[in-house]
C-alpha cells in the first residue's frame, strides 16, 4: 500500500506538494511547522521524517510484481 501523499500541512494548511514531513501514521506537516514542533508529531509523539517525493514516471522496477 502506498502513501496517501496529503497536499496540505495539518497545522497551518500550507501546500506540501514538494517538501513534507510525516510520522508513521502519515500525519503530514510542512517544514516550518515540523521545525517548530522539533520533529515530533503532536498526534502520536512519533518522529517526523521527510516524506519521499512522488514519482513523475512509473517506477522502472514496477514490472517485478
Tens of pLDDT, residues 1-49: 577 788 999 999 999 988 999 999 999 999 999 999 999 999 999 999 9
pTM of the model: 0.79
Q: What pLDDT is attached to residue 57?
A: 46
Domain CATH for 45: 2.10.110
30, 12 contact by CB (below 8 A): yes
- pLDDT, tens digit, for every residue of 38-50? 999 999 999 999 9
The total of structural domains in the chain comes to 1
Domain that holds residue 38: 1-65
CA distances (Å), origin 15, targets 22, 23, 51, 59: 14, 17, 14, 25
Q: Are 32 and 10 in contact (CB under 8 A)?
A: no
What pLDDT does residue 60 have?
62
Amino acid at each position: 500500500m502506498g502513501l496517501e501523499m496529503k497536499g496540505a500541512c495539518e497545522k497551518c494548511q500550507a501546500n506540501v506538494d514538494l517538501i513534507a514531513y510525516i510520522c508513521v501514521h502519515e500525519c503530514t506537516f510542512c517544514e516550518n511547522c515540523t521545525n517548530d514542533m522539533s520533529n515530533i508529531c503532536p498526534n502520536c509523539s512519533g518522529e517526523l521524517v521527510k516524506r519521499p517525493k512522488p514519482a513523475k514516471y512509473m517506477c522502472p522496477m514496477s514490472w517485478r510484481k
